[in-house]
Amino acid sequence: MEYLIGKAILQFLILAIWTCCFQDVVVSQKTEFKPKPRVPDKLVLSDPPMGLFGPIEISPSVVPHNPYPVEPFSPMYPSFPSTYQPNLTGKCPVNFSSVLDVIDKTASDCSAPLAALVGNVICCPQVNSLMHIFQGSYSNDPNMLVFQQAAANYCFTDLISILASRGANNTIPTLCSVKSSNLTGGSCPVKDLATFEKIVNTSKLLDSCSTVDPLKECCRPVCQPAIMEAALQTSQRGASMLDSSRIPGIAGGFNVVNDCKGVVYAWLSRKLSTEAANTAFRILSGCKVNKVCPLEFEEPSAIVNACHGSAPTPSCCSSLNTYIGSIQKQMLITNRQAINCATLFGSMLQKGGVTANIYELCKIDLKDFSLQSYSQQGCLLRSLPADIVFDNVTGFSFTCDLSDNIAAPWPSSSSLSSLSLCAPEMSLPALPVPQTSVSSGSYEIARTLVTIGYIIASLVL
């Protein structure tokens, strides 16, 4: 009997020891061979690097602790759609395989959860570039620079379907104001290759646009005037002296020139590689995008009443912060757009009678004009063309600039004509001197945690 009891105890001990060891092995295996996680919803802002406008990479990470416990994580965590086979019409006479690289880039830049937030700066410029490249390089007639309307309808439907199958937002046509007729050349009188090359100085056009300098083109343009010259030349083809619809400056004439610019882009996309054409078209879009403020401002009467005169009342900053908080839910903008927005809004306040620099008094920064996270950090996108990047390891990521407290510029007058981002003396505001830790001498820089879910949820609150 004692022998059986002793044997049972020994077996129990062996089993207990084996179980503990097995658990250690399992834990070790889980640590060493951890499976690839699904695309997470957390984004981490890395420490700002030293130097003027060094980019701050935002890349997904595992879910960390909430840095602001009073604000719980949003329950809205978007799931990025997986790819699937698109439902094509079967009536588009072109092969999409040769343009899949630019389609994938467009799908990534217009990913379903982010498209509305980056539409003005990232998504729509890339969509327009894709349309130009597709029109020029993949039209159903090699002698034509445009699609026939019937083919354009089918191909446009297929193109949007393919983008959606790769994770793009299916509202791209509405978001970016594109339609099948954009592939047809519209009212431009020149649509075939032979006539175009007979009218336009194509060697000059190609020399001007084969390599577009991203730093110089917006202020000292080379490619843009060459495109406009070619568009004017084609728009006047066959125009009679009495045909005012083709005269630049007339409403109808503007449409013709604009349609002919699309034909010029199509010709360029034939002569350049897909990558070179996409890069050039995105730079040209960036020049246009950064010239204006995309935000919508309602009449700031409450701020004018609270901040009127040169000695604002205590309620001035409260009123200003409430107003700015409402526009922060609109979209992500670039650093240069933020300067335009701050100047535009400041001129509105000056016209209403606000004479004091309330940006300085109320500590309004450039980042306050862009989308916020946890009401603590704003992200300003870079003024140069940027993309939403996706890979299987880090997921979706994009780059922010100017996340430090860069003071918003108060306009010198209520007139916007004095603002020029190309003037020699005009530059983006300098980064503030970082505070140095007395004990360690290291820079004190805080990390900010951002969730895509929180950003999207904040738009509907």
CB 105 within 8 A of CB 316: no
Cα–Cα distance measured from residue 168 to residue 147, given in angstroms and rounded to the nearest whole number: 24
Percent of the chain residues topping a pLDDT of 70? 64
Least confident of 109-123, 151-165, 382-396: 382-396
- Final residue in a domain of this structure, among 232, 266, 289: 289
Please tell me whether residues 272 and 334 are part of one structural domain: no
* Mean pLDDT value of segment 395-419: 73
* Residues 271 and 305 grouped into a single domain: no
Cα–Cα distance list, 156 to 161, 356, 372, 429, 448 (Å): 9, 52, 35, 43, 41
Q: Is the pLDDT of residue 286 over 50?
A: yes
Cβ(322)–Cβ(276) below 8 Å: no
Same structural domain, 271 and 398: no
Q: Are residues 210 and 106 in the same domain?
A: yes
Q: Are residues 262 and 134 in the same domain?
A: yes
Query: What mean pLDDT, rounded, does the chain reach?
Result: 74
Give the pLDDT of residue 413.
72
- Residue 230, CB-side half-sphere exposure with 13 Å CA sphere: 31
Burial class of 445 by CB neighbour count within 10 A (0 to 12, 13 to 18, 19+): middle
CA dist 113 to 116, 152, 455, Å? 8, 28, 10
Residue range 178-202, pLDDT digits in tens = 999 999 999 999 999 999 999 999 9
The C-alpha atoms of residue 347 and residue 116 are separated, in whole angstroms, by 28
324 and 274 belong to one structural domain: no
pLDDT, average across residues 231-244 = 69
Task: Tell me if 85 is assigned to some domain.
Answer: no
Grade residue 377 by pLDDT with cuts at 50, 70 and 90. Answer: confident
State yes or no: pLDDT of 275 exceeds 60: yes
CA distance 452 to 114: 8
54 — pLDDT class (breaks 50, 70, 90): very low
- Mark which of 289, 322, 349 sits at the end of a domain: 289
Q: Is the residue at 425 inside a domain?
A: yes
pTM: 0.73
How many whole angstroms separate alpha carbon 77 and alpha carbon 98? 35
Number of domains in the chain: 2
Q: Which pLDDT band, with edges at 50, 70 and 90, does 131 fall under?
A: very high
Residue where one domain finishes, among candidates 267, 289, 311: 289
Cα-based distances in Å from 247 to 76, 243, 295: 52, 7, 33
The tokens describing 134, both together, are 């597709």
Instruction: Return the minimum-mean-pLDDT range out of 14-23, 80-89, 283-292.
Output: 14-23
Residue 162: domain span: 97-289
For the residues 219-225, what does the mean pLDDT come to?
Answer: 95
Q: Which spans in 169-242 are helix H? A: 172-175, 193-199, 202-209, 223-235
100 pLDDT above the threshold of 70: yes
